[in-house]
Amino acid sequence: MSDTDFQSYVGSYKSLIINGLGNESALKARSFETLVIAERNQSLGVNSITQLSRMLSNTKLILNQALHHLALLDGFLPTNSHLLGWQNEIQEAHTSSELGLICQRISHVALPVPQALA
């Protein structure tokens, strides 16, 4: 994963988590960054596959919680079928890169477009 991709994926994940779970979830929003670091360390033999699997599962769980809360907000445009499809995609992700791409796609559809400052 390139540094540019990393920054983009982190931004998408954080936006989804904070918009879904609120500003107090900023620490949870860092779970994606921690996962990427763990994957890089695993390739060096630092982290076990079991630890990595737990981290990936936790990161997916947080993302699914955020999406569930986003779906309850007024103005959430995607349908329940979108939500179910995204949850299935999230469950099928095996790496942070796959999860990052999913977050990027979801954030483009599910989050409001930032308004330009006048």
The residues spanned by each domain of the chain are 3-110
Q: Name the phi and psi angles at 19, rounded to 5.
A: -65, -35
Mean pLDDT, the chain, whole residue set = 85
Closest CA to 12 of 115, 118, 97, 117: 97
Model confidence pLDDT, tens digit, residues 59-114 = 999 999 999 998 887 766 666 778 889 999 999 999 999 999 999 999 988 876 55
pLDDT band at residue 41, thresholds of 50, 70 and 90? Answer: confident
pLDDT value at residue 61: 95
State the Cα–Cα distance between residues 117 and 101, nearest whole angstrom. Answer: 28
Look up the pTM and report it. 0.84
pLDDT value at residue 114: 54
Q: Is 2 helix (H, G, I), strand (E, B) or coil?
A: coil
